[in-house]
Amino acid sequence: MGYQRLSPELKTLTPVWTGNVKGKCDRLRETGLLGSLRWWFEVVVRGLGGHACDPTGEKKCEYEEREGVEKLCAACRVFGATGWRKLFRLEVDGSGLEPVMASDRGLLLPSGRCHNSRAGGWYILPALYGTFSLEFRRRRSGDKKEEEFIQVLLGTLRLMERWTAIGAKETGGYGVFKTVSGLNFELPEQNPFGQSRGASDDENGPAALPGLTDFFFARVRLRPKEGDWWKKFKEVELTLNKRLPCKGGRQQWMREGHFQEWIEKGCFPLSPIVRNWLRYAWYPRLKGSISEGLIFGTAEGDRRRRTAIGISHAYRLENGLWEFRIWGCRPPDLEEGKWQEFVEGLHEALKPLNRQAGFSVWRNEDGLFGCVAEPGELVWREFNSERDTVSKISDGWDFFKSLVEGKEKEDGQGSAGVVGGAE
Ligand SMILES: [Zn+2]
């Protein structure tokens, strides 16, 4: 028995945000990290055929001693529920982190549109950059199922490292990380949740809560054409040249020095720029019949609704390449056919077109990156899909393992090295 202790050390690739209700992020909070770790663990559990309740919903689990712990869903068993303590303690050491922009509330990046005759934009938050460690401590219970759940939890952290992010506002660009050391785990031989959600289960209609097999995950690589490539984005030009489309009010807008702070760290607040382009330039051309709000979230400023699409900020790779991540999950009120139509269109828009060997262009040449960057590569992972760059995987457990492993192509291990900024 005894204690088990695991202390992975992580490095941010895009700043991590775990702010409080007032919107400040002055230190790393374990609640923000636990929240996203639990959310992704729930997604994995559901994709593997297990049950994970919605801890904010009415049907969440409550522990009753006479019913025993088996009545709890896997997520509540691991992360706790009313009357049941979580299986581990998490301590966070964020002393190796520093703020990227020294500003209390964040600074605005203009969208180029007006709202009630005031310039619209997005807050770029003063998040934290550097290294931090998570310490998981738990008493070994000897319970086989609990051991397996913990290994799947650690695998989920690896999945987040490879494909998504950690902390609050992860769908808005923050919290992409890589593990420096100490994330050791061994996944069980077989799916501990029994039967994976299969490819045909969708006939029963979309599940109300997201499962791993409802997702796609992509890494988009680009090669900037020149040093100050980022200045060519229309949103950046607007603020650098102080040419807002209408009154900017007294709001604080980003200035060149603020962008430079990001660039020096090897990252750039690209997420709202990609979202702006996808939502307002690309999507209307797709002539999709889905409300764009369903996919991209509601109007700027409304943060209550969780968007179906996560888009990371960009970070520098080796060989002069930059990368950002995009992932998404079918919203529960959208039918599978329409979702497929949307995903196919998105995949086409992000995919480089190989005209000749050694020369490729974006399909959207005049769009998002037309004058800014050349296409690098598109890595695409999606359950039971021909678009997957590794292979079409129709078993949930195999799909999970492949994502944890981080494979990008059928024949190679992939994963271009990350450079990042100065420590
Ligand atoms: Zn539960």
In CATH, what number is assigned to the domain containing residue 85? 3.30.70.1900
How far apart are the CA of 62 and the centre of ligand 1, in A? 7
Looking at the fold, whether 226 and 363 belong to one and the same domain comes out as yes
| Nearby residues of 337 by Cβ (< 8 Å), 6 or more positions away | none
How far apart are the CA of 330 and the centre of ligand 1, in A? 22
Label residues 28-66 b or e (16+ Cβ within 10 Å = b).
bbbebbbbbbbbbbbbbbbbbbbebbebeeeeebebeee
How far apart are the CA of 73 and the centre of ligand 1, in A? 4
How far apart are the CA of 104 and the centre of ligand 1, in A? 36
Q: Which is it for strands 107-115 and 3-6: parallel, antiparallel or unpaired?
A: unpaired
Nearest to 73 by CA among 82, 83, 61: 61
How far apart are the CA of 157 and the centre of ligand 1, in A? 19
Residue 287 is assigned to a structural domain of this protein: yes
Per-residue pLDDT of the chain (423 residues; tens, 9 = 90+): 578 899 999 999 999 998 765 666 678 889 899 999 999 999 999 999 999 998 888 889 999 989 888 899 999 999 999 999 999 999 999 999 998 987 667 899 999 888 888 888 999 988 999 999 999 999 888 899 999 999 999 999 999 999 999 998 899 999 999 999 999 999 999 999 976 655 444 444 445 788 999 999 999 999 998 889 999 999 999 999 888 888 766 678 999 999 999 999 999 999 999 998 888 888 888 776 777 777 777 544 444 446 789 999 999 998 889 999 999 998 877 888 889 999 999 998 898 877 666 667 776 656 678 778 888 889 999 999 999 999 999 999 999 999 999 999 987 655 555 554 433
Nearest to 126 by CA among 89, 100, 146, 94: 100
Pair 23, 172: CB distance under 8 Å: no
Pair 151, 186: CB distance under 8 Å: yes
Residue 326 is assigned to a structural domain of this protein: yes
How far apart are the CA of 384 and the centre of ligand 1, in A? 28
Q: Which helix (H) or strand (E) holds 374?
A: strand 373-382
Residue 416 is assigned to a structural domain of this protein: no
The encoded tokens of residue 408 equal 């990008």
Looking at the fold, whether 139 and 74 belong to one and the same domain comes out as yes
How far apart are the CA of 57 and the centre of ligand 1, in A? 10
pLDDT at 203: 42
Residue 183 is assigned to a structural domain of this protein: yes
| Nearby residues of 385 by Cβ (< 8 Å), 6 or more positions away | 216, 392
pLDDT at 374: 86
pLDDT at 302: 40
Looking at the fold, whether 178 and 220 belong to one and the same domain comes out as no
Residue 422 is assigned to a structural domain of this protein: no
Looking at the fold, whether 129 and 7 belong to one and the same domain comes out as yes
Looking at the fold, whether 162 and 224 belong to one and the same domain comes out as no
Looking at the fold, whether 272 and 307 belong to one and the same domain comes out as yes
pLDDT at 79: 96
Nearest to 46 by CA among 212, 166, 178, 205: 212
Looking at the fold, whether 175 and 240 belong to one and the same domain comes out as no
Looking at the fold, whether 234 and 115 belong to one and the same domain comes out as no
DSSP 1-62: --EEEE--EEEESS-B----TTS--SS--HHHHHHHHHHHHHHHHHHTT-----TTSTT--B
Looking at the fold, whether 36 and 180 belong to one and the same domain comes out as yes
Looking at the fold, whether 71 and 143 belong to one and the same domain comes out as yes
Q: Helix axis angle, 144-163 relative to 30-47, nearest 10°?
A: 110
Q: Which residue has the tokens 């490095």?
A: 11
Domain of 263, in residue numbers: 212-405
Looking at the fold, whether 139 and 229 belong to one and the same domain comes out as no
Q: Which is it for strands 89-99 and 128-139: parallel, antiparallel or unpaired?
A: antiparallel
Looking at the fold, whether 233 and 376 belong to one and the same domain comes out as yes
How far apart are the CA of 54 and the centre of ligand 1, in A? 7
Residue 411 is assigned to a structural domain of this protein: no
Residue 193 is assigned to a structural domain of this protein: no
Residue 205 is assigned to a structural domain of this protein: no
Pair 33, 90: CB distance under 8 Å: yes
How far apart are the CA of 50 and the centre of ligand 1, in A? 11
Pair 45, 73: CB distance under 8 Å: yes
Domain count, the chain: 2
